[in-house]
Structure 1
């Protein structure tokens, strides 16, 4: 019965960049399309500059659009910027997303470094910086220091509709990416393999208490996927984004929306087995996992075992650039291992694009080996139109995804 009703609702509708997309974990509460966050996206993208544009693109009635626009204006998420050109009758009042005052704080936490910054409500990066971190110092010390830096980047400005917040903080919310499994509904970290002292820590509650603004927390690969998809592939419905650095993870876009699965672990390819016993021991306690073979940490460990002095992933990349045969061979092997896992994903999921980001995406031997393995192992139908490419948004892709997630939650907190 439920499927029949849904098919009736969708009958005759065309699906495109701004058309309805329905998923279990990210559908608007108030219908298949035209929810508040969708209206905000239409204005932020430049596709709509007036209420009439929003009604035409969303299919909603003018009165419904007006109600939702007024609510967004009252929250400080939209503003009227003057009168546009008339096509007969009254000149329409133009709409825009405010670019001053209201800011989103964003933190993309890695194993050794964090990218943090502030962005406006359109997703434009206002200021960003990278700082070293010691993940082993524990969540309170690491997050506390990063939150202080975000606060230092925020000018003293009040924000209309701000929920709480220190006086003049100017923040509408903070988005945080974590390099480990995150239970999205609770904001808790669950059994991270490379984050001693972080298991079970409630990141959302800790950060919300420190800042008194809404906080959203997700896996870092998910935020990379969200940031790159919105910026580069918004017209594609199905995509896989792989983050390959010290560790390895992936984010999944399905039906045009971020897909987390039932508990938030969708896309966690790091502990899929690629080497039969006796494979290398993984940080999770199993053997032969992808992360134990193909991650930056695995490459460092393998080179050290071969007597090649290297301290970190930067050193590995330098060796590969210099043509070191040991490092290059390991990079090619890592690319093949990643490709073998992604071949299963591509055959099963049939995405339109597979994009790889993170430090290892800069490694051409790895990327070439991964691409060749995908074409070798996948069905021709699955790869005949498949895009295989690097993430192109740059180092800010994670904080861009974090900020977008905050905007989505502020507009529609369901």
Structure 2
């Protein structure tokens, strides 16, 4: 499924404008989009026919006939969402408004390969769809965030680090075949960025949202929409070379990458090298909270290294906010170190009104972003819709 949520004037963009309150009528949409009234009417009708918008009542007149008001249908339509981590699968349902619900998390090792992961993911999403159907809700599609590079146009995984067997795996189409539902596949940092922007920063148009967990990634929101770049790799800061990593080999095949010193996996490995038990980001956070000096030092240094990379990003992109998400964002020394480096190294004009803070949506942000991205897609074709109805 193509990422039509990024196209100005698409049905997805129209839905976003109405959902955010930026437009309440067809006339508002014409002014916002700068498109012909006939084009806007076609997009609106697509969304009305899909059950995503309603048009009724009358708004205030600006000199002519009073416009009919557009509203997002808040009840009935949901998307299923899955946020995959290297060692877990988190699922939930997302409506057009509100937070994710019916959330479940399952421990699973994605390095076991794509076919076992597909089996587990399809099983859990099928059960989730059945529960939504039993509650009288219509499942419109599925959004999936994957912890690695994703070709969103082709629906494939591209050369993920430490995940043998996943390269070029057509996860989107295989999952769609299993579920009988349209599937949107994207990188986990991108769906995190979408979720944080929608839930916590809806008025901001330019953000960098970092996901610092077992690995490191970031999503970029530009002009209020997710920016993926020409080939889908925009925001991949994990393989930027940093001085602190020196000649350390990285799983990507290069040396000196940020991930080799600032990721949760790298910090845990460094702690184990000192004889300190740490197998996960949860262990790292516990050690920092307990004041363990080596853990605190490593986390603070990770923040400095991440900040050094982000300083270039902030000077170049000039965002309104840098939001730190992922499990490691719960460590205050990391957040403080990133903030300190950005203020030290960035141009005063770039940081004068810059917000630098930890994410507020917690582990639900990825589900929210994936679900809303799937909901903003056009309705499936009739054949696929009938298959979905039969399976849910």
Same fold (TM over 0.5): yes
Change in 2 beyond 3 A, CA 1:183/1:347: same
Q: Out of 67, 78, 83, which is 2:57 matched to?
A: 83
Deviates more, 1:191-200 or 1:123-132: 123-132
Q: Aligned partners of 2:281, 2:131: CA distance in 1, in Å?
A: 39
Question: Which residue number in structure 1 is paired with residue 79 of structure 2?
Answer: 104
TM-score (norm: length of structure 2): 0.86
Change in 2 beyond 3 A, CA 1:371/1:412: farther
How far did residue 25 of structure 1 move? 8.4
Please tell me whether residue 43 in structure 1 is matched to residue 18 in structure 2: yes
Please tell me whether residue 361 in structure 1 is matched to residue 329 in structure 2: yes
Change in 2 beyond 3 A, CA 1:85/1:257: closer
Question: Which residue number in structure 2 is paired with residue 114 of structure 1?
Answer: 89
Question: Which residue number in structure 1 is paired with residue 110 of structure 2?
Answer: 135
Question: Which residue number in structure 2 is paired with residue 410 of structure 1?
Answer: 378
Q: Deviations over 1:99-154 (max 9, x none)?
A: 33322111110111222111123464242222211112211211321222122122
Please tell me whether residue 306 in structure 1 is matched to residue 306 in structure 2: no
How far did residue 230 of structure 1 move? 2.5
Written as runs of structure 1 = structure 2, the 5 A alignment for 1:129-168 is 129-155=104-130
Question: Which residue number in structure 2 is paired with residue 189 of structure 1?
Answer: 157
Q: Aligned partners of 1:312, 1:27: CA distance in 2, in Å?
A: 35
How far did residue 65 of structure 1 move? 4.5
More helix by share: 2
Contact 1:101 1:157 in 2 (8 A): no
Question: Which residue number in structure 2 is paired with residue 68 of structure 1?
Answer: 43
Q: Aligned partners of 1:66, 1:234: CA distance in 2, in Å?
A: 25
Change in 2 beyond 3 A, CA 1:263/1:60: closer
Question: Which residue number in structure 2 is paired with residue 395 of structure 1?
Answer: 363
Change in 2 beyond 3 A, CA 1:90/1:154: farther
Written as runs of structure 1 = structure 2, the 5 A alignment for 1:12-411 is 28=7, 34-51=9-26, 54=29, 58=33, 65-80=40-55, 83-84=57-58, 93-122=68-97, 124-155=99-130, 170-275=138-243, 278-410=246-378
Change in 2 beyond 3 A, CA 1:89/1:184: closer
Change in 2 beyond 3 A, CA 1:269/1:62: closer
Change in 2 beyond 3 A, CA 1:151/1:90: farther
Deviates more, 1:345-354 or 1:175-184: 345-354
Partner SS for 1:250: strand
Change in 2 beyond 3 A, CA 1:49/1:259: closer
Q: Aligned partners of 1:255, 1:83: CA distance in 2, in Å?
A: 31
Contact 1:151 1:169 in 2 (8 A): no
Change in 2 beyond 3 A, CA 1:98/1:169: closer
Q: Aligned partners of 2:278, 2:132: CA distance in 1, in Å?
A: 47
Contact 2:150 2:185 in 1 (8 A): yes
Partner SS for 2:378: helix
Q: Aligned partners of 1:235, 1:258: CA distance in 2, in Å?
A: 14
Contact 2:145 2:186 in 1 (8 A): yes
Compute the RMSD of aligned alpha carbons: 2.9
Q: Deviations over 1:283-334 (max 9, x none)?
A: 2233321111011101110001111122222111111100001111111111
TM-score (norm: length of structure 1): 0.82
Q: Aligned partners of 2:202, 2:100: CA distance in 1, in Å?
A: 19
Deviates more, 1:124-133 or 1:340-349: 124-133
Q: Aligned partners of 1:40, 1:407: CA distance in 2, in Å?
A: 9
How far did residue 210 of structure 1 move? 0.7
Change in 2 beyond 3 A, CA 1:34/1:411: farther
Q: Which runs of 5+ in 1 are unaligned?
A: 1-23, 159-167
Q: Aligned partners of 2:60, 2:246: CA distance in 1, in Å?
A: 73
Deviates more, 1:127-136 or 1:114-123: 114-123
Q: Aligned partners of 1:89, 1:349: CA distance in 2, in Å?
A: 42
How far did residue 222 of structure 1 move? 0.9
Contact 2:86 2:147 in 1 (8 A): yes
Partner SS for 1:332: helix
